[in-house]
Structure 1
Amino acid sequence: MTDTHPVLIRQLRPADRDAYFQLRLRGLKAHPESFGQSYEEALARGPEQHDARLQGLLAAEGEFLLGAFASTDTPLLGVVGLSRNQRDKERHKASVIGMYVAPEAAGRGVGRALLDELMRRAMRIDGLRQIQLVVASHNEAARKLYESAGFNKYGCEVGALNVGGVFHDADLMVRFL
């Protein structure tokens, strides 16, 4: 992936389920402090837990998963999702979920490409006014990426996640559309 070969970003489909699940497991195992779901919980629930989003039936409403590829027919390099709030009074909000870029693709613009495409799609969703996300407070690289994409920190949840008895803070960020 150089400037002459940009990363391919597309909505993930049911056929991508196994690749998506394996990449998600890698992220959960490598960075347990960055995800609400644990590796063990993910294994117990299995890949089926993602089937509804992978179907893509609610993509226009704000429920989708995107994947990054070097080109067609190459392994999945990164993922991100959008999850819209379902309660009537909160339908104007959605959350960035499950952002992860494989270490072998880090530093090559994959995260930026995923986030840019997510925001392009989010801006077309009727009634959506803000995108929120939660990022581990110590993850400076991710926070800088989000800030460069127009997200602003509005709070910090102290002790947001308990990973093996160690508590990790999380920054709350928002971008208004």
Structure 2
Amino acid sequence: MTVRRLGPADAEPYRAFRLTALRETPSAFTSGYAEECAKPMAATLQRLAEAENGPGALLGAFDDGGTLLGTAGLRVTQRGQERHKATLYGMAVARAAGGRGIGRALVRHVLRLAVEDGELRQVLLTVSEGNEPALRLYISCGFEVWGREPRAVMVAGQAVAKLHMVRLLDPEVTRAGG
């Protein structure tokens, strides 16, 4: 498996992967399948270009044959007084590739990028309440729950709460959890 930054050349496989993830696990995301399907390929290209050229990144995990198996992104806040924060977003692993350590590898790469940034002091994320495998993964990577948002998203008329998590990047915390 190889983990690398995604760029505009990855637009087609990334879009297909993302749409599959949105269709298969709609409660895991704040975007919906139908709304993402309606967006043109130009929106995917813009998302990849922003991630490629900004201080954050959008990563993909690929098998030896070049198939995209998972994604995770790091979005860095640009406002001056919040520049110490970033968000892990777009985390997904193909169902057929589950249980192979792909999610852990992606989270670790995101955290490594955050530390290498030099200015970041914490990484935030949200995870849908009830998504126990993802919650266990994040906790094992040093994230901790700091809050719960009831009815964070509505999926097919059903309210889904999101747990807010944080991973501090202080040197003593980074050594312990990463």
Structure 2, unpaired ranges of 5+? 170-178
Query: What is the correspondence of 1:94-105 to structure 2 with a 5 Å cutoff?
Result: 94-105=86-97
Q: CA deviation at 1:86?
A: 2.3
- 1:40 is aligned to 2:45: no
> How far apart are 1:46 and its partner, in Å?
2.9
1:166, 1:90 → 2: CA distance? 33
Match of residue 62 from structure 2: 69
How far apart, CA to CA, are the structure 2 residues paired with 1:43 and 1:89?
35
Equivalent residue letter for 2:37: L
Q: How does the TM-score come out when normalised to structure 2?
A: 0.90
1:3 equivalent in structure 2: none
Supply the distance in 2 between the matched residues of 1:103 and 1:118 (Cα, whole angstroms). Answer: 21
Q: What displacement does 1:126 show?
A: 3.0
Cα distance in 1 between the residues matched to 2:72 and 2:6: 10
User: How big is the shift at 1:118?
Assistant: 0.9
Shift of residue 53, structure 1, vs aligned partner = 4.5
Matches within 5 A, 1:1-177: 7-55=1-49, 56-58=52-54, 61-62=55-56, 64-71=57-64, 73-177=65-169
**TM-score normalised over the length of structure 1:** 0.90
Give the fraction of aligned pairs with identical amino acids, expressed as a percent.
42
State the distance in 2 between where 1:79 and 1:48 align: 19
Q: Distance in 2 between matches of 1:147 and 1:47?
A: 35
- SS at 2:117's partner residue? coil
Judging by fraction of residues, say which structure has more helix: 2
Counterpart residue type for residue 57 of structure 1: N
Take 1:42 and 1:143, find their aligned partners in 2: how far apart are those partners? Answer: 25
What is the CA-CA distance between 1:87 and the residue it aligns to? Answer: 2.0
Q: Which digits, 9 at most, give the CA deviation of each residue in 1:72-108, with x for residues without a partner?
A: x421000011111122221111111110000110000
After TM superposition, give the deviation of residue 48 of structure 1 in Å.
Answer: 2.5
Name the amino acid aligned to 1:25: L
Q: Hey, what does 2:172 align to over in structure 1?
A: none
CA RMSD of aligned residues (A): 1.2
5+ residue gaps in structure 1? 1-6
Question: How many residue pairs get matched?
Answer: 167
Query: One-letter code of the match for 1:46?
Result: P
Return the alpha-carbon distance in structure 2 between the equivalents of residues 45 and 91 of structure 1: 30
Q: What SS does the corresponding residue of 2:100 show, helix, strand or coil?
A: coil
